[in-house]
Structure 1
Amino acid sequence: MKIDFTQGELIKAIKQIDSNPDLKRGRHSSRYDLIYKGAKYPPILVLSVANEFKGGKEITLSDFKNNIEIPFKILRDKGFEVKEKSLNNQKDYIEWSKRALSIQTSTKQQYVTSIENLSKIVGYNIFERNNLNEIIDLYEDLLKEQKNKGGKYYEEERPSASLKGWYSASVKTYVDFLKARKEDTNIGNNLNYLLFNQQEFIQSIRNSGLNFDPTIVIRFIASLLTKPFVLLTGLSGSGKTKIAQSFVQWICEDDSQYKIIPVGADWTNREPLLGYPNGLSPEEYILPDSGVLNIIIEASKDENQHKPYFLILDEMNLSHVERYFADFLSVMESEDKIMLYCGTNRKSPEGVYVPPFVDISKNLFIIGTVNIDETTYMFSPKVLDRANTIEFRIDEASIKSFFRQPSTIDLSVLKSKGASTSENFLKLASDNHIVPNDIYADIFVKFFNELKKTGAEFGYRTAFEMLLLMKKLSYIGTFSDNECIDIAVMQKLLPKLHGSRSKIAKVLDALILLCLKDGQSFSIAKNEEISSENILYPITFEKLVRMYKNALDNGFTSYAEA
Structure 2
Amino acid sequence: FVKWICESEEQYKIIPVGADWTNREPLLGYPNGLNSKEYITPDSSVLHVLIEASKKENQNRPHFLILDEMNLSHVERYFADFLSIMESDDSIKLYTGSDRKSLDGLDIKQEIHWPKNLFIIGTVNIDETTYMFSPKVLDRANVIEFRITKEEIAGFLENPQTPDLSKLEQEGINMAASFLNISASKDIYKNDVLTKKLNLFFSELQDVGAEFGYRTASEMMQLITKLKALEPSTTDDECLDIAIMQKLLPKLHGSRSKLVKVLIVLAALCINENQKEDFIKNFDTHFKNKFDGVIVIFDISFEKLIRMYRNVLANGFTSYAEA
| TM-score (normalised: structure 1) | 0.55
Alpha-carbon shift at residue 532 of structure 1 (Å) = 6.6
Equivalent residue, structure 1, for 2:173: 419
Task: Decide which of 39, 42, 45 is 1:288's aligned counterpart.
Answer: 42
Matches within 5 A, 1:219-368: 247-368=1-122
Q: Whole-Å Cα distance in 2 between the matches of residues 333 and 556 of structure 1?
A: 33
Q: Give 1:405's aligned amino acid.
A: N
Q: Whole-Å Cα distance in 2 between the matches of residues 341 and 447 of structure 1?
A: 45
Q: Give 1:369's aligned amino acid.
A: T
Would the aligned equivalents of 1:274 and 1:287 in 2 still touch at CA under 8 Å?
yes
Q: Whole-Å Cα distance in 1 between the matches of residues 89 and 198 of structure 2?
A: 27
1:436 aligns with 2:193: no
Would the aligned equivalents of 1:524 and 1:545 in 2 still touch at CA under 8 Å?
no
Alpha-carbon shift at residue 269 of structure 1 (Å) = 0.9
Task: Decide which of 219, 224, 237 is 1:465's aligned counterpart.
Answer: 219
Equivalent residue, structure 2, for 1:500: 255
> Residues 435 and 515 of structure 1: is their aligned pair in 2 closer, same or farther, counting only changes over 3 Å?
closer
Q: Whole-Å Cα distance in 2 between the matches of residues 413 and 427 of structure 1?
A: 26
Q: Give 1:479's aligned amino acid.
A: T
1:33-66 deviations in whole A, cap 9, x for unaligned? xxxxxxxxxxxxxxxxxxxxxxxxxxxxxxxxxx
Would the aligned equivalents of 1:251 and 1:421 in 2 still touch at CA under 8 Å?
yes
Alignment partner of 2:210: what SS? coil
Alignment partner of 1:463: what SS? helix
Task: Decide which of 261, 276, 292 is 1:519's aligned counterpart.
Answer: 276
Q: Whole-Å Cα distance in 1 between the matches of residues 11 and 259 of structure 2?
A: 44
1:361-400 deviations in whole A, cap 9, x for unaligned? 1100100010122221122233122101100112212111
Alpha-carbon shift at residue 406 of structure 1 (Å) = 2.6
Alignment partner of 1:391: what SS? coil
Question: Between Structure 1 and Structure 2, whose CA radius of gyration is higher?
Answer: 1
Would the aligned equivalents of 1:524 and 1:549 in 2 still touch at CA under 8 Å?
no
1:497-535 deviations in whole A, cap 9, x for unaligned? 112222222211111111111122153564243137611
Q: Give 2:160's aligned amino acid.
A: P
> Residues 533 and 499 of structure 1: is their aligned pair in 2 closer, same or farther, counting only changes over 3 Å?
closer
Alpha-carbon shift at residue 447 of structure 1 (Å) = 0.2
1:159-203 deviations in whole A, cap 9, x for unaligned? xxxxxxxxxxxxxxxxxxxxxxxxxxxxxxxxxxxxxxxxxxxxx
Query: Which runs of 5 or more structure 2 residues have no equivalent in the other structure?
Result: none
> Residues 533 and 513 of structure 1: is their aligned pair in 2 closer, same or farther, counting only changes over 3 Å?
closer
Task: Decide which of 468, 489, 503 is 2:244's aligned counterpart.
Answer: 489
Matches within 5 A, 1:121-140: none
Q: Whole-Å Cα distance in 2 between the matches of residues 305 and 529 of structure 1?
A: 51
Would the aligned equivalents of 2:13 and 2:64 in 1 still touch at CA under 8 Å?
yes
Q: Give 2:159's aligned amino acid.
A: Q
Equivalent residue, structure 2, for 1:29: none
Would the aligned equivalents of 1:381 and 1:495 in 2 still touch at CA under 8 Å?
no
Alpha-carbon shift at residue 271 of structure 1 (Å) = 0.6
The structure with the largest helix share of the pair is 1
Equivalent residue, structure 2, for 1:408: 162
Aligned length: 316
Q: Give 2:297's aligned amino acid.
A: L
Moved more, 280-289 or 473-482: 473-482
Alignment partner of 1:351: what SS? coil
> Residues 301 and 532 of structure 1: is their aligned pair in 2 closer, same or farther, counting only changes over 3 Å?
farther
